[in-house]
């Protein structure tokens, strides 16, 4: 997956709230924020990758329902990491 990365000058004070505003205003884009304040616009995946991600979500979701050990999430979920980045993995489990 290719991404376009925008450098956000620190003088703009790009806060978590501003990131949420930008994401809300651009619902058709997949956006991620690096710990260095870089905003990445993720391109859509191709059919093969999309199918693989779908299968992983199904497998993880089924396993999680059977075992009830946590929560599973798809790629539309953004996670705030300890280093300040906000990332959206293809599939995740907590």
- The answer on pLDDT for 10 being more than 80 is no
- The answer on pLDDT for 2 being more than 80 is no
The size of the chain, in residues, is 94
pLDDT interval class at 12 (50, 70, 90):
confident
Are the beta carbons of 42 and 48 closer than 8 angstroms?
no
How many structural domains comprise the chain?
A: 1
pTM of the model: 0.69
- The answer on pLDDT for 29 being more than 70 is yes
- Which structural domain, as residue segments, surrounds residue 76? 3-93
Alpha helices in the chain (DSSP H): 16-25, 47-67
**Which pLDDT score, from 0 to 100, does residue 1 have?**
57
**Which pLDDT score, from 0 to 100, does residue 23 have?**
87
């Amino acid at each position: 997956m290719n991404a376009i990365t925008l450098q956000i000058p620190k003088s703009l004070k790009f806060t978590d709230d501003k990131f949420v505003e930008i994401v809300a205003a651009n619902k058709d884009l997949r956006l991620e924020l690096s710990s260095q304040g870089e905003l990445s616009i993720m391109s859509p995946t191709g059919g093969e990758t999309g199918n693989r991600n779908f299968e992983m979500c199904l497998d993880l979701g089924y396993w999680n329902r059977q075992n009830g050990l946590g929560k599973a999430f798809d790629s539309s979920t953004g996670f705030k990491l300890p280093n300040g980045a906000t990332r959206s993995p293809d599939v995740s489990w907590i």
